[in-house]
Amino acid sequence: MRTRTVALGLAALLALAVATACGGDQDGVPGGDSTVPPGAEGSQHVLGSPQAPVELIEYADFQ
Amino acid sequence: MFARSASPQLIEEYVNTGKVRYVFKYFPFLGDESYYAAEAAECASDQGKFWEYHDLLFSRWQGEGVGTFLPDKLKAYAAELSLDTQAFAACLDSRRHEATALADKRDGAQAGVKYTPTLFLNGQVISPMRDYEDLKTKIEEALNEGG
């Protein structure tokens, strides 16, 4: 009985560890990746011609 | 920070000459103020002033989590640009653009973004860049490959 309890406890800890590792945001703010509404679309801020031979995408944080 | 220092040169030299198409995406990962700033930029975009607001935010950068991008400050910046402040405040307070910032972050994370700024040149990560000259070299290489 005790062995089973320990095993269940370890399984719970393992599940928690996996969930933490896969949970997306590390910054602890509201709006982790798991809360992106289904179908949400990103921003559309583009400068320049669609025919330009080179596309440069910048991911930035204003902070 | 790349966007503060190099973008004007990049725009003048490559975007305005038709050589480069520049796409800006949010990757808010430094806390609440990162999200507020991104959402505020979207609110400015609603009023047709995204790039002006974008430039203003980068010009006001003082550090991480120092209060520069709290909602009251972001509303004051909107007033500086003569935006409709009531509409802007309503937009920001509603958090209506949170999903857009989240979606950008999701897309960036899926593409492998882990820090900012991260730059993709024709789909390939080229950051971290030392300076504008470094970026310029990469762009010229890409232009030569394409031409």
Strand partners, B120: A57, B125
Q: What pLDDT digit, counting tens, does each position of B109-130 carry?
A: 999 999 999 999 999 999 788 8
Q: What is the pTM of this model?
A: 0.81
Of B25, B58, B65, the CB nearest to A62: B58
Q: What is the pLDDT averaged over residues B124-140?
A: 89
Rounded CA-CA distance B50/B42 in Å is 7
The answer on pLDDT for A5 being more than 60 is: no
Q: In the prediction, which pLDDT does B64 show?
A: 87
The predicted complex's ipTM stands at 0.93
**Percent of chain B surpassing pLDDT 70:** 95
* Residue in B95, B127, B93, B94 with CA at minimum distance from that of residue B25: B127
**Considering only alpha carbons, which residue of chain B is nearest residue A25?**
B29
Tell which B residues from 26 to 55 touch A, by Cβ distance under 8 Å.
Answer: 26-35, 37-38, 41-42, 45, 50-51, 54
Rounded CA-CA distance A9/A4 in Å is 9
Q: In the prediction, which pLDDT does B58 show?
A: 93
Distance of CA B117 to the CA centre of its chain: 9
